[in-house]
Structure formats: structure tokens, C-alpha cells
Amino acid sequence: MLQKKLPWHLDFARHAGRHRHVDVDRPATLTPEQRSALAISLSTFQIGEDGTGEHLLAAAKEAAATRRYRDALAMFVIEEQEHARLLALVLRAIDHPLRTSHWTDRVFVFIRQIKSLRSEVLTLLVAELIALSYYSAMRDGVREFADVFGRIYDDEVRHVDFHADTLPHHLDQWSTGTRALVRVLWNVLVVGSSVVAALDHRAALRVVGVSPARFVRSVWTDLRNLDQRLFSASLDS
């Protein structure tokens, strides 16, 4: 029998604190060169996960989003901060300090200056799509990190599902023409960002046995599915 999906604010509440007791051991199987390649890459993702969600929550309020949706968004932000904490544990296990800034993070912050809920969520979905392929590669590539990256990956799957369920309602408020244009621009942004991420993180991806081409193909597969869920229903209606 199909299990009924919980409303998202209850789903996030049910998952709260789930990673509280996670610990990360020092990986015995990695060489110092492999540790260094992973650390440089992971420290970039760690910054990306560590946002306050201030713009997102303000945009949701501005868009008169429902209380339940805003509660779900607030708990979504907390889960992302939890990922930052878990990545900090991984970095500590491989003796690497935390980074304080990275150019890709500054680009996303710049794009998000548009300050609408729809552009906020579409922008963060670019990062979420890249995160899906990245964390699954990390989960499968380093035995000692399988648990921590498996946890983060499972959350990211829920995050994408959450936004795919809730964003179309807000995209519907654009005209058909605007939605079609946004759809093209957003697809271009995801494709471009996936290539940049694959190249920028190629050394870490090599450690876990994933080529840049395979990484990009993986992001594009998820993109096709998400694009359908976000835009098809609203354009057809």
C-alpha cells in the first residue's frame, strides 16, 4: 500500500535532530594527497551549506507564503546548517581548516539579490541538484564517509522533493511567457553550473572514482526530472 506523504512542515519536524549523534572517524584508506583534494572541495560545499536563510525566509514572508510553508522553509534551513556541521566534522577528521569564502558562493549571493521567493528557491535548487550528484559520489567513494554522506544525500533528495512539491504554485503566478523564459534561463544556469562544479571539484571527484563527464551527466538526469516537476504542470495548465 502506498504510504501517504506527510505535509512538509511535519516531515521536517519528524527529521529534526536526526544527525545529532553522528561522529566521523579519521579515514585510514586515504593518502595525504587524496585527503587534501577532498578537503579543498568539501570546504567549498561546507560554506555553501552554512547560510542563515535570512533572504529566503524574508522573501517567503514578502510573498505572503502560508505559515506552514514558512515553517517548513525555516526547518529546511536548519537541515542545511546541520549539513555544514557534518561537513565540518569530516574536515576535522581529515585535519583541514574551514574556509571562510569561495567565489561560487559569492556568485550565488549575487544572483539572489533579485530578492523574490521564486528566484531564491530556483537559485538554491541549482545548488541542490549539484549536491545530489556530489554527495552520492562521496557516499559511494569513501567507505569511512558512507554514513555521513548517505545522511546528507538522503536529506538532499527530500529537499528537492519539497521544492518540487511547493514551488510550482509560486511559479504559476508568472505569466506563461515569463515562465517559459525563466525555464530556459534556469536550465542554462544548472547546465553551466554543473560543468563549472565538475571542473572545479575534479580532483576530489577523481578520488571517489567519478569523471567530470559522469558527474555532469548525473546532474543533467536529475535536472530533467526536476524541470518536468517544476514547469511542465504549470505550462500545460
Which of 69, 73, 80, 210 lies at the binding interface for Fe ion (CB under 5 A)? 80
The amino acid present at 234, given as its one-letter code, is S
User: What minimum distance in Å lies between the beta carbon of 209 and Fe ion?
Assistant: 22
Instruction: Give the helix ranges, DSSP H, for 50-94.
Output: 54-62, 67-93
**Listed ranges 16-24, 72-80, 161-169, 211-219: which one lies at the site for Fe ion (CB under 5 A):** 72-80
- Are 85 and 46 in contact by the 8 Å Cβ rule? The answer is no
38 versus 132: smaller Cβ distance to Fe ion: 132
36 versus 81: smaller Cβ distance to Fe ion: 81
If binding is defined by CB under 5 A, does position 159 make contact with Fe ion? yes
Contacts for 111 with CB less than 8 Å, ≥ 6 apart? 119, 123
81 versus 187: smaller Cβ distance to Fe ion: 81
> Looking only at residues 198 through 237 of this chain, which bind Fe ion when binding is defined by CB under 5 A?
none
105 versus 156: smaller Cβ distance to Fe ion: 156
What count of other Cβ atoms lies within 10 Å of the Cβ of residue 176?
Answer: 11
What count of other Cβ atoms lies within 10 Å of the Cβ of residue 93?
Answer: 18
The amino acid present at 86, given as its one-letter code, is L
Question: Using CA atoms, how far apart are residues 52 and 55, in angstroms rounded to an integer?
Answer: 8
If binding is defined by CB under 5 A, does position 83 make contact with Fe ion? yes
Give the interface size with Fe ion as a residue count (CB under 5 A).
6
Contact residues for Fe ion (CB under 5 A)?
49, 80, 83, 128, 156, 159
